[in-house]
Structure 1
Amino acid sequence: MNQLQGKHILITGASSGIGEAVAYQVAAQQGTPILIARRIDKLEQISNHIEQTYQIKPIIRTADITDRETWGNILAEMTEEYAIDVLINNAGIGYFNTFADMDWNQIEKMIALNNQALYFTTYAVLPTLCKQPQAHIINIASQAGKIATPKSAVYSATKASVISFSNALRMELAGQVYVTSVNIGPVATEFFDQADPTGDYQRNIARFMLKPDRVANKIVESIFTGKREINMPVLMNTGSKLYQNFPRLVELFGKRLFNQK
């Protein structure tokens, strides 16, 4: 059975990477993806491909979700028109540099998109989700939220916040809405166009790099289940668990790996 048949799944950051891959897999199960991104050309391209392949017509909206007033109006319109069953907070951004050398505008962008926009979107959609027989919030966090490394102080902090937010929300919504945090290592997406413009970090951690389709598969499999967390890849998650129990030891022996950025 297609558990997503007839369901509406709102995906932020849907124009590439994980969001795009999730959209295809949702449509393959006859769910209706609601695709949100800033690039209308990419959204139309993805929408056309989905419609031709799966005979499902996605709903697309262009939006800068950090623009709270405009995004709020779009969300109000959509929640009035559609019964949203699943919210996937996928949009995010990262910049890697030492905190002292970071451009303050980049810091504000990470906080605005990774945290404030995620909280606001959840807040705006939650009343609609609570009306559905089954509903799910899936927040894309990061293994960086569990184990911080040099040159990612702010990025790691934003993702740790997403994990904490998910944990609290899960308890608040128990019996009403499922909540899952997706704690992933590096994924081969456009994220690194800004986070790592030189490509050095990507080359250094190539052996850990995940494919968007693999992550999307795990996400879609978890919908309407009580899955608390999705942690990928296994080796990095094992390192995160060790770090929680033996932080000094992991920092000592992991110093060379941590300084790959």
Structure 2
Amino acid sequence: MRKNERLKGKTVVITGASGGLGEQTAYRCAASGANLVLLSRNVKKLEEMAESIREKYGVSSLALKLDISRHEDIPAVFRAIFEKAGHIDVLVNNAGYGIFAEAKDVTPADVEGMFAVNVVGLIVCTKEVIPSMRKRKSGHIINISSQAGKLATPKSSVYSATKHAVLGYTNSLRMELAGDGVFVTAVNPGPMATNFFDLADPSGNYVKNLGRHILSTEKVAEKVVDAMLTNRREINLPGWMNAGSILYAIFPRLVERLGKKAFFKK
């Protein structure tokens, strides 16, 4: 497992750490010598991870329960982190979910839920670390967005809207903190092999149609950890999908016409 020497002795906080990209990122940070704070609703899984990390890597690993959609709980959790860890060097806003459905079928509860976690929860967590990072003139905020935030497709209208919002927030935040020594990075992966699709696409058709094009969480986590504490604007994976997003920004009508068949594979 590749190491990032910049992380040795640093404190990394990861939301949605109990599985998928969050879990893989946590283990790679620990392998680089970072101390971990793991946040998720699944505290039992977090505690198992924290114990495994302490035993295997000899670093500090703290597991705390946090439901990102309960925005009123976030400040108290971050106060506890600061009390126990002293400071936060890297915040990875990884928690998020999606539901794939045609716009006419999306319920108000679906809309509220996705925005509560993917957007508002991310913003509230970020607000908790900004003052400390600014004061220390050091830190890195990494927001896990999606290629869906650059190129929306059918059946992902609300999910794409949340990720467009994350990118807009991230781009503004990056400029605000540029003079304070705090890095801000957006991570825009395409579809990954996680339990995300258990909820997003219960039929399994989308994952089946993606086949070998689906990303591994290990690969994405490796890229994320490699970039920690560097001034990296974005991480975009896979390259061919990001090229499509760039092309879409220039020639939207052409891409919508030529990609119509592929876009409806959900």
User: How far is 1:81 from its partner?
Assistant: 3.4
User: How far is 1:72 from its partner?
Assistant: 1.8
In 1, the alpha carbon distance for the partners of 2:261 and 2:125 equals 38
User: How far is 1:134 from its partner?
Assistant: 2.6
Runs of 4+ in 1 over 4 A off after TM superposition: none
Say whether residues 1:243 and 2:248 are aligned partners.
Answer: yes
User: How far is 1:71 from its partner?
Assistant: 2.1
TM-superposition CA deviations, 1:73-131 (whole Å, max 9, x none): 11122224321011100000100001111122111110000000000010112112223
In 2, the alpha carbon distance for the partners of 1:163 and 1:71 equals 21
Q: Which moved more, 1:81-90 or 1:138-147?
A: 81-90
Q: Which residue of structure 2 lines up, in the alignment, with residue 21 of structure 1?
A: 24
Tell me if structure 2 keeps the 8 A contact 1:185–1:208: no
Tell me if structure 2 keeps the 8 A contact 1:86–1:129: no
Q: Which residue of structure 1 lines up, in the alignment, with residue 143 of structure 2?
A: 139
Pick from 76, 83, 89 the counterpart of residue 85 of structure 1: 89
Say whether residues 1:51 and 2:59 are aligned partners.
Answer: no
In 1, the alpha carbon distance for the partners of 2:246 and 2:124 equals 30
Q: Which amino acid aligns with 1:226?
A: N
Q: Which residue of structure 1 lines up, in the alignment, with residue 118 of structure 2?
A: 114
In 1, the alpha carbon distance for the partners of 2:187 and 2:132 equals 22
Aligned residues: 261
1:171-190 superposed matches below 5 A: 171-176=175-180, 177-190=182-195
1:1-261 superposed matches below 5 A: 2-82=5-85, 83-176=87-180, 177-261=182-266
Q: Which amino acid aligns with 2:108?
A: W
Structure 1: any 5+ residue segments left out of the alignment? none
In 1, the alpha carbon distance for the partners of 2:49 and 2:84 equals 22
In 1, the alpha carbon distance for the partners of 2:165 and 2:133 equals 22
Give the 3-state SS of the residue equivalent to 2:243 in structure 1: helix
Structure 2: any 5+ residue segments left out of the alignment? none
TM-superposition CA deviations, 1:228-249 (whole Å, max 9, x none): 0000001100110110011111
Tell me if structure 2 keeps the 8 A contact 1:79–1:125: no
Q: Which amino acid aligns with 1:136?
A: H
Q: CA RMSD in A?
A: 1.2
User: How far is 1:133 from its partner?
Assistant: 4.7
Q: Which amino acid aligns with 2:195?
A: E
Taking structure 1 as the reference length, what is the TM-score of the superposition? 0.97
Question: Percentage identity across aligned positions?
Answer: 47
User: How far is 1:207 from its partner?
Assistant: 2.6
Give the 3-state SS of the residue equivalent to 1:96 in structure 2: coil
Q: Which moved more, 1:139-148 or 1:62-71?
A: 62-71
TM-superposition CA deviations, 1:182-239 (whole Å, max 9, x none): 0110011111110011111111112321111110110011111111000000110011
